[in-house]
Structure formats: C-alpha cells, structure tokens
Amino acid sequence: MNQATLFGHEANRYFAARPRYPDELFEWLSGLAPARELAWDCGAGSGQAALGLAPHFSKIVATDVDDRQLALAPRRPNIEYRRAEAEADLGLDEAVDLIACGCSIHWFNLPAFYQRASQALKRGGVIAAWTYDWPWTGSGAVDAVLRKLREDILGPFWGENSVHYFGRYRNLPFPFSEIEPPQFRMEIAGSREELSGFLATWSALLKFRQHSGEDALALFARELSEAWALEPPALPLRVPLHMRCGFKQGPDTTASG
C-alpha cells in the first residue's frame, strides 16, 4: 500500500468529515509572515488549509500527491492546486512567505522536505506544521471506548509516523528558528455521528478496512452508543492543535505568540 495516497481511496469521506481549521490560526500565521504575497500549502489534501489561507495571501500554491483529493478541493481565484510530492522542486526559490503543513508533515521525507522548504522560503519566511492527537472527548466512558479502539483493534495498523502525531509533534525534527505558538483549538464534531465520520478518515481505520474488509467503527458502534448515553461529552467537541512554527535563518524578532 502506498501510504502517500492512502486517503485518496476515501477522498469523498475525507472531504466531508475533515474539519476546517480555525480562522484565528491563519490570522496569526499571516501576521508572522514577512509579506502576504505567496503561501505554500504542502500536503493540501482536499484544501482545508488552503481555504483558510486564501483570505490572507495574494496567492496560494497547494500541493498534494493524490489527484483524487485535489479534485475535491474548493476552487478560489488565488489558489493554484498542483499534484506534487512534498520534496519536489516547485520553482519557488526564495519566493514563499509561509509554508503551511496541516496534518501532513508526518508523511514527508523530512530531510528532503526541509531542504526544499529552506530553498523555497524567503529570508524570514515562516514554516508551520500542526496536527491533532486522537480525539479524546473528556467523557470517561466514551474515552475508554475510544482508547480500546485505538489500541486494541487498530494498534497493528498505525504507521511508524504515528509516533509524530501521537507525540503531538514534540519529537518532530524542526531545523528552523523556532517560536512558541498560541494554543489553538478546533471543532471536530457536533454529534456522535460526526465524531464517527471524523474517526473513519484516520489512516489506521482505512488500513483496517482494506485488510479485513470490515469497518472497525461498526465493531464499536454499540459500545460507543452506550457510553455516549451513559456519560455524554460536552458538544461541540473541540481539540487542541499541536504546532511547530519557526522562521528561516532567524530574523530579529521577539515573537512568542
């Protein structure tokens, strides 16, 4: 299985269930950038980050390796979608104000990507990579079911790169002049059904389905429903974003978020 194109097998489900990132995230990032001329959304998927960047930058180049994902991305006049690997030369040498990697950098060949990112960024340009952890709800009963699903059923199906997103990117190599970002949170679901739809887009769920022909969530549907009725979580469900953010070549700045 080609992990880089794994999500394309469920592109419609991914587009429908993956949430939009908060507007405050893009307002903050655009304020850090040396200009608002060009942003590169690397690992764009079906355009969740590109849409957030569009009001803030004159042009966004949004790249992904899977045409099936890019085909679903909403079009905007200032967004150019390209099929390209993260490590590819886009011809953007020292032209990019911001590189954004929304829940994507853990799929990249990091040394090659970082070399390409440094090549593309202007001096003082910003690179930001963010992710979310497995969605804990704050309900003990519901989270016990979610923990059982993640560890007991899906355990063998998490890729080696899961160490990064389950580690909240703290262990991610990051060779830039780093700053501490604010804590952003995003809404992922307003109901149990929406949470199930979100979970269904995670890589291990997709691998489990392809391996066994079964839907892992269906195996837990009754337990999840009973736990939800016993101790319903507060809605809407919101989760923190975990981010690494830094500048190329460390310009003079005291920014700390």
User: pLDDT band for position 255 (50/70/90)?
Assistant: very low
What per-residue confidence (pLDDT) applies to 16?
66
What per-residue confidence (pLDDT) applies to 18?
76
What per-residue confidence (pLDDT) applies to 249?
72
Predicted confidence (pLDDT) per residue in 5-54, tens digit: 555 445 566 566 678 899 999 999 999 999 999 999 999 999 999 999 99
What per-residue confidence (pLDDT) applies to 15?
61
Predicted confidence (pLDDT) per residue in 179-224, tens digit: 999 999 999 999 999 999 999 889 899 899 889 999 999 999 999 9
What per-residue confidence (pLDDT) applies to 6?
53
3-class SS string, 135-152: CCCCCHHHHHHHHHHHHH
Q: Does domain 3-135+160-188+238-247 have CATH number 3.40.50.150?
A: yes
How is the chain split into domains, by residue range? Answer: 3-135+160-188+238-247
pTM of the model: 0.91
* Rounded (5°) CA angle 91-243-12: 70
Question: 14: buried, middle or exposed (CB in 10 Å: 19+, 13-18, 0-12)?
Answer: buried
Residue with tokens 């070549």, as numbered in its chain = 249
**Span 138-162, mean pLDDT?**
96
What per-residue confidence (pLDDT) applies to 12?
65
**Span 221-232, mean pLDDT?**
97
**Span 161-190, mean pLDDT?**
95
